[in-house]
Amino acid sequence: MKIVILDGFTVNPGDLSWSALESLAEVEVYDRTSEDQIVPRCKGAEIVLTNKVVLDSSVLNQLPRLMYIGVLATGYNVVDLEVASRQSIVVTNIPSYSTDSVAQMVFSHLLNIVSRTDHYAQENRNGRWSKNEDFCYLDHTLSELAGKRMGIVGLGNIGMAVAKIALAFNMEVIAYTSKSEEELPEGVRSVTMEELFTGSDVISLHCPLTESTRHLVNASRLHTMKPSAILINTGRGPLVCDQDVADALNSHTIAAYAADVLTEEPPKADNPLLTAKNCYLTPHIAWATYEARQRLINICVENVKAFIEGEPKNQVN
């Protein structure tokens, strides 16, 4: 049996090992695969692993030997599930491997904004503290998280982890969620979307991307937020309208935006968020701690092993 990994570099740029997979079958690893390389590389494989390389009907129809697709991520929209099912191809994903890492990134961004750590570190690299007359200097207002209201849109695994950390910072936590009051952790209150956006000091997005949540945050909703509010998106880029958020930042409608995801990745050079005021972007790396990537590979190996043994798990089709 042969396994082909189409885009292994982001998951494992060299600091981890594929040896556990290699103990199960012959493995070919490609750092990246362009559209015209997909079919030639997959032709002889029964198992294909992909992170972001798209396996649509035009590809799947040319791979009669393919039996299994392992998506190296939680989201699996890169695979045409209908065609895969019709061709009896098992498709699996990697659930809940990066929960703690993504929640950590939410607060990495938030703490940087309220404490201005990056700003002051850069100022000191430029020699400012060494030239200062006093033992410290303040050119930005710093804020405590304690007592602030954190609004969380979506209380899945990551949203719940974010709520737990917010409570540890003595923040008030409200959420827009389908969970019943009985399912909510102590200290978290369910509210309407309108109340969440109008009443929160910090809003963190953790809902899935659907037609109803696409551009959930737009000009109209941004204008209901506090001018001091901070918006954080580690969910999906299209949950917000990039231009509307940039406009809101530049007009001081909201105080800051932090995101690990954008509508288009990598972004075009003219994406308005790249130059917007008080906009803090990381390149879709919230999931990518060493520990989370190792966990992803471990789950991937278990998924493949279960499939070979005839008992697939984490199957999504």
Residues with active-site annotation: 236, 265, 284
Inter-residue contact 61 to 83 (CB < 8 Å): yes
Contacts of 287 (CB under 8 A, 6+ apart): 73, 97, 98, 101, 102, 293
Separation in Å, CA 170 to CA 102, 165, 257: 20, 9, 22
Rounded to 5 degrees, φ, ψ at 239 are: -65, -20
Token duo for residue 103: 């929640």
Q: Helix, strand or coil for residue 271?
A: coil
Please, where are the H alpha helices in 131-214? 157-168, 193-199
Residues 6+ apart with CB under 8 A from 29: 5, 8, 18
State which amino acid sits at residue 232. Answer: I
Closest CA relative to residue 106, chosen from 304, 298, 261: 261
CA–CA distance, 302 with 297 (Å, rounded to integer): 9
Which class for 243: exposed (0-12), middle (13-18), buried (19 or more C-beta within 10 A)? Answer: middle
Q: What is the DSSP letter of 187?
A: T
